């Protein structure tokens, strides 16, 4: 991954490149929304990160134990979605992706029924 970039720096650069001034546009800092993440994880703890010939590229050796029934699990998710069965969707996601943790909003809204 590259270096961290502050979102306000990106906004200021965008304004500069657009020919706008800071006083021409209102910027509201509203914080994170439910389900929003601070960082993006590109691989899980169960996967092995291996170097490649390029210093900034990596190869990931994945644990594909679930691959044999992957599409069956996707079909189940689709059935749950059509039935609007959100708790079942959440439980199936946790089964497919053990690292998945629903947000506090999701836990309160859908798992405390």
In this structure, is residue 1 part of a structural domain?
A: no
In this structure, is residue 2 part of a structural domain?
A: no
Give 77's contacts (C-beta < 8 A, 6+ positions apart): 89, 92, 93, 96
Give 113's contacts (C-beta < 8 A, 6+ positions apart): 87
Into how many domains does the chain fold?
Answer: 1
In this structure, is residue 90 part of a structural domain?
A: yes
In this structure, is residue 35 part of a structural domain?
A: yes
Backbone dihedral angles phi then psi of residue 54, each to the nearest 5 degrees: -100, 130
Per-residue pLDDT of the chain (113 residues), as tens digits, is: 567 888 889 988 999 899 888 888 888 888 877 767 777 777 777 788 899 999 888 898 876 665 678 889 999 999 999 999 999 999 999 888 888 888 888 888 888 75
Q: Which domain holds residue 35?
A: 7-110
In this structure, is residue 97 part of a structural domain?
A: yes
pTM check: above 0.85: no
In this structure, is residue 32 part of a structural domain?
A: yes
Q: Which residues of 5-26 are buried (b: 16+ CB within 10 A; e: fewer)?
A: eeeeeeeeeeeeeeeeeeeeee
């Amino acid at each position: 991954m590259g270096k961290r970039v502050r979102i306000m720096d990106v906004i200021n650069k965008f304004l500069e490149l657009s020919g706008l001034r800071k006083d021409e546009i209102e910027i509201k800092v509203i914080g994170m929304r439910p389900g929003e993440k601070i960082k993006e994880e590109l691989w899980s703890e169960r996967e092995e990160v291996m170097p490649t010939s390029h210093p900034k590229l990596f190869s990931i050796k994945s644990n594909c134990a679930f691959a044999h029934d992957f599409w069956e699990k996707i079909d189940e998710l689709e059935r749950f979605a059509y039935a609007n069965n959100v708790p079942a969707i959440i439980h199936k996601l946790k089964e497919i992706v053990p690292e998945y943790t629903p947000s506090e909003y999701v836990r309160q809204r859908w798992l405390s029924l």
